[in-house]
Structure 1
Amino acid sequence: MHDVVIAGAGPVGLFLANELALGSSSVVVLEREADPHPPLEALPLGLRGLNASSVETFYRRGLLQQLLKASGVDAAMVGADPDADQTPGPRSLGHFAGITLDAADIDPAALVYRLPGPAMDGFMTSLEAVTDVLTERAAVLGVSIVRGAPVTAVTQDEHTVTVTAGGQDYRARWLVGCDGGRSTVRPLSGFSFVGTEPLFTGYVAKVTFADTHQLPLGFQLTPTGMYLRTSLEGHLGMMDFDGGAFDRTQQLTREHLQAVLRRVSGIEVTLEEMHLASSFTDRAMQATAYRHGRVLLAGDAAHIHSPLGGQGLNLGIGDAINLGWKLAATVRGDAPKDLLDTYTAERHPVGAAVLDWSRAQVATMNPGPNASALQHLVRDLLRTADGTTHVYRRSSGLFHRYELGSDQPLIGCTAPDIRLADGTTLGDLLQDGRAVLLDFSSRQLLSQQATPWQDRVRYIHGRSMKDLGVEALLVRPDGIVAWADTAAAAPDEELQSALARWFAHS
């Protein structure tokens, strides 16, 4: 029997599996697809954007350089000089509702508690690159991956879950559904999935154009929808506001794609060939809770929305790093009794906010008599420093704050990449999946009485190269600040309380 079964070997399932393995859990991943490299994961259809938060997450697990190499990205394009006096803003931004954002409009002073380091920007990658990197790490950590094993049944009792997949039964203490928007784990396990119905059908395709010069590069908003052509050969994206009438249940043909493109663009474009294509909608749905008994959900299995702004993969990676250490601690038996409940409490509001962010973009792009006026208003707002900075803060993922019961501004936020006098960074210290207690004070906070935390919390006493106005920080394994000492006065009781809240001991 395994500790955890994960349904789905996409980026979210694999990242979660690696987190659990770091926490000493035995894990098996069940993947419905037999092919480890399905065509839809490769470029151009597998093109995805990682935001700054996800880049930071890969960095904190020692995987960033490997992912940059697999993605063909120069490391200098996502990092910043750690000796810089001021944290720079991002070099480039994406879009909001098809409206391109100018990174020069961001106010760097509003990026509080950010420090220059290796992970400052997002970058473009592919699902294939991400899954390859995570699969290699899974092999090193001893994670078992079974392909060609679609989940067909789930039963659970007070102590175990039994999953039927590929004609075999797998028993475990926990099951996590990471099997995408069309999850089978979700309905089989009794989760409620609620939200809003679609306004458009979206398409992504690799085609051969008769004349590529007919369509300009970039996002093009039109009176009837939107189309996108990138520098990747034959890459085409479209949004047709048809109420989501043409979804994945219908066969895509060259003729249909051509008709939609002509209608949306208003140009008599000819597609000579369709090599590969997929459709999607902006249906926005979310599980009302992320846990039902011994079954949990993460990624698209827990929430779906349109891909506008590239939030889907990033939201799922955030789920995985939040859940991983908590579930591993629960499996080991050294978690506080309510630790696993904090997964839904922390991640559900983040998911709901992303769904609304997606809906707002769809509303801005929705053709109609008022669309032009609304788009002009949004463009004007996005030409201001406040407007662009707000969109960056929302889309970068770096500025979520979990409610942890403190007004101290760092608590509940992702920790800055603190660099110590010896050159060690917080990112270096988090790679093994343990929490970190950073002590910048002139005294030693942890005494010999604190040894029960030693296997779960790495204690580092040293001087920070940047003064953040705190004497010490307790950073959870997911990089979130759980406690901060600003008083420099006997914080022992507060610290022990914070340790007990997040890391039980016998």
Structure 2
Amino acid sequence: MTDPVIVVGAGPTGLMLACELGLAGAPVVVLDRRDTPDPRSPGQAVNAAVMELLEQRGLADELRESGLPLPGAHFSLLWLRPELVAGPHRVGGGLLVPQARLADVLERRARALGVDIRRGQEVTQLRQSAGSVTLRLRTADGESTLRGSYVVAADGANSTVRTLAGIGFPGGGWTVSGIVGDVVADLSEVAVNHLGAHYTASGGVYSGAPAGPGTLRVITTLFGDLPAGPAAGTGEVAQEELQREIEELTGRRLPAREVVWAERFTSVSGNAECYRAGRVFLAGDAAHSFYPLGGLRLSTCLQDAVNLGWKLAADLAGWAPPGLLDTYHAERHPEGERARLALDAQLALMHPAARAAGARSLVADLSRFEDVNRYLVELVTGVDLRYRLGADGAAGSVDPDPVLGGRVPGAAPLLHDGRGLLLLSDAAAGTGGASSRTAEGWSDRIATASASAAGETGSALLRPDGHVVWAEGSGGLEAALKNWFGAPR
């Protein structure tokens, strides 16, 4: 029997990865050091890129039932105009929804797919061999060991697995501190400056968004030196401390009837040296970490999970072409760094406030240009992701075709089963089905559908994560099939 993939961390990244593996029929065990799911997740929104990923797996509608449309998009809280961006991606399609709700949706899907989720399991040691990885675990009942084919660290910015694997985590120097919590309040009594996201005159950030009936999720961020004493680092804070920061940022106290919970958080900017060390992979915050502004951090994390999941499953199923697992670092490490630098740039437009004022004014003026607005909107919503592929669909080359490496949002309903997808144009279908016949040897790994069903006109081959690796006129279909889906049956 094949050893399972062990995913360490039952947050959104780990659970999304578990869903991808489970969908492909790969054995997977998820470990988490907490005894129960954490309801105190700081995230309060998901952006358009996350919704596209969830659409691909049929999960978006369930999340929409408990979310509210995310109003607008911003770069460093300079508001942009997503409604002016034409194209296939729904750049304004984000949701206001607590991250804990997303984790709940993903966990229920993972369990339905047969994923083994074990809580109260803390990793203390890691040992690799040529064909497996063994973890030593601490539990309430004592210590135990667990062997897996691969281990994926999805255990956060302070990843234990990353440290045990000896992977460095160089940073960019930004360390940001703030408070996140839920308060009970009558939203009709809440002032306008206590709702929405704001860059304040003091040079900090405040945001308030509904987190449930009569509940407001609030987040404060004060830049500069981290607080000293008991408030330093992370941990619970008193109601008065939360109110003091809210008043400093907004100019008035929040009419809160009760603070349900409030914790101080710190966010460090960093990107791991590598996303793979032998049979250990890094994903999510364990791979890259930066200030969670506008949903880009979460979408970058889930893109890791969707990129890696099908590749690990292909390896365990025995059909992965040589080097497929290496494409994970090659594709995702640059994207982790790009997202981190995008957030660092936004922080540089915030602090120190007096020095950043001129740059903020300039960027606000530039964003009025259509091309600049488009670029920034697509960057902060995460929908501009496009991997670099060559004419034969191989990874790591200069793109000869603007379609290769990108996504086809209209194909999302056709990707629910987690297989690859060959879209056939009407012309291709009318020439005797040459493309269909070429793909017959891979029919256990890819499905076939009309391009018009995805709102497209040309033929294209999509990987299970939705990215195009071949398009009509870009090279040979058979070469692309072999590059990404291995040898035919």
Q: TM-score range by the shorter chain?
A: 0.7 to 0.9
- CA deviations on 1:423-443 (whole Å, 9 max, x unpaired) are xxx223211111111121122
Partner of 2:368: 383
Q: 1:376 to 1:182 in 2, by over 3 A?
A: same
Q: Secondary structure at the match of 2:242?
A: helix
Corresponding residue number in structure 2 for 1:423? none
User: How big is the shift at 1:213?
Assistant: 4.0
2:385 corresponding residue in structure 1? 400
SS in 2 for 1:459: strand
> Counterparts in 2 of 1:214-253, with a 5 A limit?
215-218=193-196, 219-231=198-210, 233-245=215-227, 247-249=232-234, 251-253=236-238
The separation in 2 between residues aligned to 1:408 and 1:160, in whole angstroms, is 39
1:143 is matched by which residue type in structure 2?
V
1:276 aligned partner: 261
Q: In structure 2, which of residues 149, 154, 177 is the aligned counterpart of residue 178 of structure 1?
A: 154
Greater shift, 19-28 or 295-304, is seen at 19-28
Q: Would you say 1:459 and 2:459 are equivalent positions? A: no
Unaligned 5+ runs, structure 2: 391-398
Aligned counterpart, 1:410 = 403
Q: Summarize deviations over 1:119-162 as a string: whole Å, max 9, x none.
A: 97121222222122212211221110001112111111111101
Among 138, 143, 157, the alignment partner of 2:129 is 157
* Matches for 1:337-356 after TM superposition, within 5 Å: 337-356=322-341
Is structure 2 residue 469 aligned with structure 1 residue 482? yes
Is the 2:418–2:464 Cα contact (8 Å) retained in structure 1? Answer: yes
Give the Å deviation of 1:278.
2.1
Provide the C-alpha distance between the structure 1 equivalents of 2:454 and 2:318, rounded to a whole number of angstroms.
37
Deviation at 1:448, TM superposition (A): 5.3
Q: What code does the residue aligned with 1:101 have?
A: L
| Partner Cα separation in structure 1 for residue 454 and residue 209 of structure 2 | 42
**Using a 3 Å threshold, how does the CA distance of structure 1 residues 134 and 190 change in structure 2: closer, same or farther?**
same
* Post-superposition offset of 1:319: 0.5
Matched residue SS, 1:175: strand
| SS state at 1:145 partner | strand
Q: Which runs of 5+ in 1 are unaligned?
A: 78-90, 418-425
Q: Does the aligned pair in 1 maintain the 2:236–2:263 contact within 8 Å?
A: no
Answer whether contact 1:437 1:459 (CA < 8 A) is retained: yes
Q: CA deviation at 1:322?
A: 0.5
Aligned to 1:422: none
Q: 1:428 to 1:310 in 2, by over 3 A?
A: closer
Give the structure 2 partner of residue 63 of structure 1.
59
* Secondary structure of the structure 2 residue equivalent to 1:483: strand
Give, in angstroms, the shift of residue 216 of structure 1: 4.3
Question: Mean Cα displacement is larger for which, 123-132 or 174-183?
Answer: 123-132
SS of aligned partner of 1:193: coil
Q: What is the rounded CA distance, in whole Å, between the counterparts of 1:462 and 1:258 in structure 2? A: 55
| TM-score when normalising by structure 2 | 0.87
For 2:77, the equivalent position in structure 1 comes to 98
DSSP-derived class of the 1:238 partner = strand
How many Å apart are 1:359 and its aligned residue? 0.5
SS in structure 1 of the partner of residue 295 of structure 2? coil
Match of 1:297 in 2: 282
2:475 is the counterpart of 1:496 = no
Q: 1:384 to 1:433 in 2, by over 3 A?
A: same
Contact 1:4/1:175 (<8 A) preserved:
yes
Q: Which amino acid aligns with 2:17?
A: L
Q: What SS does the corresponding residue of 1:197 show, helix, strand or coil?
A: strand
Structure-1 separation of matches of 2:256 and 2:96: 26
- Counterpart of 2:293 in 1: which secondary structure? coil
Equivalent pairs counted in the alignment come to: 462
Q: Does the 8 A contact of 2:32 with 2:119 survive in 1? A: yes
Residue pair 1:309, 1:358 contacting (<8 A) in 2 also: no
- Alpha-carbon distance in 1 for matches of 2:454, 2:234: 56
Counterpart residue number, 1:6: 7
Contact 2:178 2:219 in 1 (8 A): yes
Q: 2:119 aligns with which of 134, 147, 160?
A: 147
Contact 2:48 / 2:94 at 8 angstroms: preserved in 1?
yes
CA distance in 1, matches of 2:110, 2:85: 40
Once the 2 structures are TM-superposed, how far is the Cα of residue 92 of structure 1 from its aligned partner?
4.2
Distance 1:115 1:286, change over 3 A: closer
For the residues of structure 2 that align with 1:396 and 1:121, how far apart are their CA atoms? 9
